[in-house]
Structure 1
Amino acid sequence: MEDDSMNATVCRAVIIDDETWIREGLSEHINWELLGIELVQVFQDGLEAIRYMEEHPVDILLSDIRMPNMTGLELVARLRELEKESRLLSNTKVIFLSGYGDFKYAQEALRLGAVDYLLKPSDVEEIEVALQKAKMLCTNEAAAPDKSTQDQKVAEEPSSYLIKKALQMMSARFTEDLHLNQIADELFVTSNYLSRLFRQETGKSFSDYLSQLRIEKACELLGSSNLKIYQIGESVGYPNPRYFSEWFQKQKGMSPGDYRSKHA
């Protein structure tokens, strides 16, 4: 721990978690020095943390969700109020680390402008990636502290997070009969909103991105497995053999059989 007289270019971070072993693990195993982040305090609940942060501006907050006295969501909502009232000069970057997979928590985290929402147990590398992202945002704002630029970046973060979760769900479930409205329902947003956001963030439509995932897997299986062509179609979400063949022909300019002959 360091005192409060920090170099302005170094991001200051705090950890909040009611479990001692997690606080100690995060403190000791994350390479804070290499990340260029100064860990200034650790707290066991949100109430302790907010009292400190009202007097000591913090750049990055790594927090649990469910804690006694004040939850992580309540804490960040209070921080945003203080920032809006200009009682805090910093725009704290928030990373939630929670054991609760209910996306309702993540939805509220998005509304509060969280940089990331990680589920326990998360490995050190995953946490460090999120911290690096938060540090980059802090550094960018320090280099161009125009308020309109800051507001734009804060607005962009939840969008990026939402699409990140959509892509994770698609990667895990592209073999299913998957549709945009299913993903939208599970992310608590409308289909139209997700569709527009998806194209903005990825440059592709939902259906085009899904086709890309499926064609890559189909090509891999055609070249490396002994599965029959209809089985490969089923494994990438196309149980109708004729439809799979027509779709593959359209995507690759050749039939599945020809592709296998050429690449097996």
Structure 2
Amino acid sequence: MYSFLFVDDENLMREFFAEVVDFKEYGFELAGMFATAESALSFLAGHPEIKAVITDIKMGSMSGIDFCEKVREFNQDILLVVLSGYKEFEYAQRALRCNVFDYLLKPTLYEDIDMLFKRMKKQLDAKEELKKEGPSDGPVLDYQYESMIGRIKKYIDENYDKDISLDSVAQYVAMNPSYISRFFKQHTKCNFLDYVSRVRVDKAIACLADPTIRVGEICELVGYRTPQHFYKIFKQYTGCTPSEYRINVLGGTEEP
């Protein structure tokens, strides 16, 4: 069971979570409910076993976002979920900077809660597996890790021509963006962005072998929006520009 806290100054919301939602069904137990962010902070300081916090955004002297920022000062791993009746961009932007796991708008539907707890369970289970893995003499991963890495790579391979970000991959595999970055690096020994760049450069090289495709067109075909950025990344990985690679490595000719 994973322990979590619920923080909201509305009695009705606290009653809803306490009486309506069956946390044990998802593998969670409610360790505490608080009407103020200050009391929740005090509790968290003495209970490092808490794995997640669901908090309202507007509560008395300390908002839910201020609360999340305070929590992040001493705990980078806990899952933070913000409930808000506000659609303002500023709130969402600050929440992202706190690396919140999810940002739900009120009124919150039961279906939203159901999906939230399933996603949190999946993320926490993956974290626990990583802790249990321990040192290894080789790069062998179990099926679960291989499957997740395979899904991430598959997404990149199928979307290299689009704007790929940790957020877009996170949505695809239902994981937290910052966790994906660490997970991918640990199990592939390769930075996520480096892998994306490597895939794009490989695709560009394949395109360069076709003399009917101009270098400027290849830039867009492999997901770069400006030629300057494309040339910089390509040279970083190959040691030469795309045109030089086409002529000197592939034996092609200059573009007319």
Query: TM-score scaled to structure 1, two decimals?
Result: 0.50
Unaligned runs of 5+ in 1: 1-9, 85-90, 150-156, 165-195, 201-264
CA RMSD of aligned residues (A): 3.3
Is 1:159 aligned to 2:167, yes or no?
yes
C-alpha contact 1:115 1:130 (8 A) present in aligned 2: no
Out of 118, 126, 129, the residue aligned to residue 132 of structure 1 is 118
SS at match of 1:133: helix
CA drift at 1:26: 1.4
Equivalent residue for 1:59?
A: 51
Give runs of aligned pairs for residues 193-208 of structure 1, distance below 5 A: none
Distance verdict in 2 for CA 1:127–1:94, change over 3 Å: same
SS at match of 1:137: helix
Q: Residue by residue, what CA displacement relative to the aligned partner does 1:72-112 show, whole Å, maximum 9, x if unpaired?
A: 1111111111126xxxxxx1101111111112211111111
Instruction: Give the aligned length.
Output: 147
Q: Residue by residue, what CA displacement relative to the aligned partner does 1:154-186 show, whole Å, maximum 9, x if unpaired?
A: xxx97259969xxxxxxxxxxxxxxxxxxxxxx
Equivalent residue for 1:111?
A: 97
Out of 60, 63, 74, the residue aligned to residue 68 of structure 1 is 60
Distance verdict in 2 for CA 1:32–1:137, change over 3 Å: same
Give % identity: 29
Query: TM-score scaled to structure 2, two decimals?
Result: 0.51
Equivalent residue for 1:96?
A: 82
Q: CA separation in 2, counterparts of 1:54 and 1:121? A: 30
Unaligned runs of 5+ in 2: 135-144, 146-164, 173-195, 201-256
Q: Residue by residue, what CA displacement relative to the aligned partner does 1:87-140 show, whole Å, maximum 9, x if unpaired?
A: xxxx11011111111122111111111111111001112112112211211111
Give runs of aligned pairs for residues 136-215 of structure 1, distance below 5 A: 136-145=122-131, 159-160=167-168
Distance verdict in 2 for CA 1:161–1:42, change over 3 Å: farther
Q: Residue by residue, what CA displacement relative to the aligned partner does 1:202-228 show, whole Å, maximum 9, x if unpaired?
A: xxxxxxxxxxxxxxxxxxxxxxxxxxx
Out of 22, 46, 51, the residue aligned to residue 37 of structure 2 is 46
Q: Residue by residue, what CA displacement relative to the aligned partner does 1:223-253 show, whole Å, maximum 9, x if unpaired?
A: xxxxxxxxxxxxxxxxxxxxxxxxxxxxxxx
Out of 79, 98, 118, the residue aligned to residue 71 of structure 2 is 79
SS at match of 1:113: coil
Q: CA separation in 2, counterparts of 1:92 and 1:49? A: 14
C-alpha contact 1:12 1:60 (8 A) present in aligned 2: yes
Q: CA separation in 2, counterparts of 1:114 and 1:160? A: 16
Runs of 4+ in 1 over 2 A off after TM superposition: 160-164
Distance verdict in 2 for CA 1:161–1:78, change over 3 Å: farther
Distance verdict in 2 for CA 1:50–1:83, change over 3 Å: same
Equivalent residue for 1:87?
A: none
Q: CA separation in 1, counterparts of 2:7 and 2:168? A: 24
Distance verdict in 2 for CA 1:161–1:68, change over 3 Å: farther
Q: CA separation in 2, counterparts of 1:163 and 1:108? A: 19
